[in-house]
Amino acid sequence: MNTLNQSLNDETAISLAELFRTLGDSARIRILAALSDEEHNVSNLAALAGLSESATSHHLRHLRQMRLIKSRKEGRYVYYSLDDDHVKQLVSCGLEHVRHG
């Protein structure tokens, strides 16, 4: 078992920072929270997160590029969902710190 310090070369630190930066926006957090229950299309997500559809679309692209969410197209609609349960775990882990802090 390696220590955190041994595991974290510069390249890994950059990737890790990118991941956390992606989570570091309250709009994207609201989107992920909405997706933690069930999949939603863009319009729904925009309404749930209180964002314009354009802003939502930009955020969704960002989240997808970071492999936090995935999409599925059905007719005119594109349904987004969390990529896996690990995302939920990561957000929950942060939540614990916020509550306990």
- Min separation Cβ 52 and a second copy, Å: 17
Strand order in 40-41's β-sheet?
40-41, 77-82, 69-74
- DSSP assignment of 30-99 equals HHHHHHHHS-EEHHHHHHHHT--HHHHHHHHHHHHHTTSEEEEEETTEEEEEES-HHHHHHHHHHHHHHH
- Quick one: what does residue 47 bind among a second copy, DNA, none, with the CB cut-off 5 to 8 Å set by partner type? none
Q: Judged by CB under 7 A, does residue 52 bind DNA?
A: yes
Q: Judged by CB under 8 A, does residue 17 bind a second copy?
A: yes
Taking CB under 7 A as the binding criterion, the range among 5-13, 56-64, 83-91, 92-100 that sits at the site for DNA is 56-64
Query: What is the C-alpha separation between 6 and 100, in angstroms, rounded?
Result: 28
Binding site for DNA (CB under 7 A): 21, 24-25, 27, 41-43, 51-55, 57-62, 71, 75-79
Binding site for a second copy (CB under 8 A): 3-5, 7-8, 10, 12-26, 28-30, 32-34, 36-37, 67, 86-98, 100-101
